[in-house]
């Protein structure tokens, strides 16, 4: 899929939106990736325009009539404009600025029409050397069009018809009976290649959907839909890198449910799962825009809060304690209650790396649990020392050992 570093704009004009349309149910991130594919790579683009320019120049040198001179001039103008648009679009995409996608699509159509025009006038002149060169070039361009543009099958179909379709009237103008076979051959070829573009587009979208779903599963908890540890660490690293540039405060709240094991033992694991889902919902209800909730596994949760001071993080932690501590319906008309302890770490005060922040918040969390649970505690410089002391007195507890590591 398209890299997050470069984002190309979706087309805005009605005709270009129709040309680039890939289906009503395609998610926007996939649409953006498909638009990025239409810009292609610079080497492939340069190879295509060099081929069409060389063919037009060679035929014009052989027959320097006004028709061919005009064709060469149009080819040069279109190719240079397309190259300029491609360079501008790439620069803007890297800066996440609007890109000239509509112009790029219309220039692709114009280039295909120019290739087809060259084949038409070459056939019409009766110069079979020029006609052969122009028609072979047009046929070769069809393969390149399919390879480069099948992510937008309508655009691909229009370009195929414009580049090779004119050979049909060209054969009629040439008045050569043998060329009439093109009336049967070319439509079948054009139809087959267009159908292939639609099939390749469907396959590409299906692959992107699968990739998208696999990425979602890799970064999200299956039970609650929250980010998992991998998703949290990735988001935390990204936000830490940004906060280091703009000086934005970042709070990490580490939550651990109190007495959750009793719910599983008393009501069963299905009831425990329902409770965890409810905890996730209550967390979502308290989040601000830009906050990221995560479940690290078991009954451990994290909230990553951007633009949050230490005082606000403590207030937020207390609201989480109050909301999560309310009774839960665990099925069969029964209810259960759990508490939650919260440890808070601030960036950059307690670290500028994900591992450092998680370690500091984890140490504060276990101090809150040691103080009696259902408490909110901010990390301090002494927390890790206290945690190591707890480990020495409660060595069999693997959770404490992991936190102190």
Domain harbouring 339, CATH code: 3.30.70.270
**Residue 179: count of CB within 10 angstroms of its CB:** 18
* Claim to verify: residue 189 and residue 262 sit in the same structural domain: no
Query: How many angstroms separate the CA atoms of 399 and 308, rounded?
Result: 28
Tokens 């020495």 belong to which residue?
392
- Among 193, 218, 243, give the residue marking a domain's end: 218
pLDDT of residue 5: 58
* Claim to verify: residue 124 and residue 54 sit in the same structural domain: yes
Q: What is the mean pLDDT of residues 209-230?
A: 89
* Claim to verify: residue 285 and residue 336 sit in the same structural domain: yes
Model pTM above 0.75 = no
Residue 320 lies in a domain: yes
Whether the pLDDT of residue 389 is over 60: the answer is no
pLDDT of residue 244: 57
Residue 7 lies in a domain: no
Total number of domains in the chain: 2
Q: What is the mean pLDDT of residues 191-195?
A: 90
Residue 393 lies in a domain: yes
Q: What is the mean pLDDT of residues 254-279?
A: 92
* Claim to verify: residue 96 and residue 242 sit in the same structural domain: no
* Claim to verify: residue 259 and residue 144 sit in the same structural domain: no
Whether the pLDDT of residue 259 is over 50: the answer is yes
Tokens 């398209």 belong to which residue?
2
- Among 218, 248, 279, give the residue marking a domain's end: 218
* Claim to verify: residue 206 and residue 233 sit in the same structural domain: no
Query: How many angstroms separate the CA atoms of 195 and 197, rounded?
Result: 5
- Among 169, 193, 218, give the residue marking a domain's end: 218
Predicted confidence (pLDDT) per residue in 100-152, tens digit: 999 999 999 999 999 999 999 999 998 989 999 999 989 888 888 888 888 99
Residue 31 lies in a domain: yes
Element of type H or E holding 343: strand 339-347
* Claim to verify: residue 298 and residue 185 sit in the same structural domain: no
Q: What is the mean pLDDT of residues 383-397?
A: 51
* Claim to verify: residue 209 and residue 68 sit in the same structural domain: yes
Under DSSP, is residue 167 helix (H, G, I), strand (E, B) or coil?
Answer: helix
Range of the domain at 251: 229-404
Whether the pLDDT of residue 387 is over 60: the answer is no
Contacts of 30 (CB under 8 A, 6+ apart): 1, 22, 205, 208, 209, 212
* Claim to verify: residue 36 and residue 164 sit in the same structural domain: yes
Whether the pLDDT of residue 75 is over 90: the answer is yes
* Claim to verify: residue 183 and residue 260 sit in the same structural domain: no
Query: In the structure encoding, which two tokens stand for residue 261, read together?
Result: 């094991």
Residue 285 lies in a domain: yes
* Claim to verify: residue 321 and residue 191 sit in the same structural domain: no
pLDDT of residue 368: 92
- Rounded to the nearest integer, the mean pLDDT of the chain is 87
* Claim to verify: residue 182 and residue 263 sit in the same structural domain: no
pLDDT of residue 133: 93
Residue 224 lies in a domain: no
Contact 120, 170 (CB under 8 A): yes
pLDDT of residue 185: 83
Residue 287 lies in a domain: yes
Residue 2 lies in a domain: no
Whether the pLDDT of residue 400 is over 50: the answer is no
Whether the pLDDT of residue 73 is over 50: the answer is yes
Query: How many angstroms separate the CA atoms of 217 and 227, rounded?
Result: 9
């Amino acid at each position: 899929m398209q890299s997050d570093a470069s984002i190309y704009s979706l087309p805005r004009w009605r005709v270009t939106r129709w040309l680039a349309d890939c289906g009503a149910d395609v998610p926007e991130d996939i649409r953006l990736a498909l638009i990025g594919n239409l810009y292609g790579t610079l080497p492939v683009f340069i190879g295509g325009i060099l081929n069409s320019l060389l063919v037009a120049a060679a035929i014009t040198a052989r027959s320097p009539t006004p028709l061919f001179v005009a064709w060469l001039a149009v080819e040069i103008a279109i190719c240079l404009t397309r190259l300029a648009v491609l360079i501008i679009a790439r620069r803007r995409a890297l800066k996440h600025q609007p890109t000239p996608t509509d112009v790029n699509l219309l220039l692709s159509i114009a280039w295909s029409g120019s290739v087809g025009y060259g084949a038409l006038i070459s056939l019409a002149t009766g110069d079979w050397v020029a006609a052969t060169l122009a028609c072979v070039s047009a046929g070769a361009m069809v393969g390149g069009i399919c390879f480069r543009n099948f992510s937008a099958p309508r655009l691909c179909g229009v370009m195929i018809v414009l580049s090779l379709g004119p050979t049909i009237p060209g054969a009629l103008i040439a008045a050569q009976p043998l060329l009439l076979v093109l009336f049967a051959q070319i439509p079948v070829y054009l139809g087959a290649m267009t159908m292939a573009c639609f099939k390749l587009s469907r396959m590409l979208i299906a692959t992107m959907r699968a990739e998208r779903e696999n990425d979602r599963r890799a970064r999200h908890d299956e039970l609650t839909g929250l980010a998992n540890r991998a998703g949290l660490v990735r988001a935390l690293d990204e936000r830490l890198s940004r906060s280091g540039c703009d000086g934005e405060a970042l709070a990490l709240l580490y939550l651990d449910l109190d007495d959750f094991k009793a719910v599983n033992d008393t009501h069963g694991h299905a009831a425990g799962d329902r409770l965890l889902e409810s905890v996730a919902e209550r967390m979502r209800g308290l989040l601000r825009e830009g906050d990221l909730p995560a479940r690290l596994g078991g009954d451990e949760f994290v909230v990553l809060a951007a633009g949050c001071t230490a005082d606000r993080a403590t207030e937020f932690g207390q609201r989480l304690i109050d909301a999560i501590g309310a009774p839960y319906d665990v099925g069969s008309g029964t209810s259960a209650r759990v508490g939650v302890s919260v440890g808070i770490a601030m960036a950059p005060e307690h670290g500028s790396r994900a591992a450092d922040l998680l370690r500091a918040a984890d140490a504060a969390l276990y101090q809150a649990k040691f103080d009696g649970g259902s408490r909110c505690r901010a990390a301090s410089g002494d927390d890790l020392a206290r945690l190591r002391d707890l480990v020495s007195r409660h060595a069999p507890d693997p959770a404490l050992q992991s936190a102190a590591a």
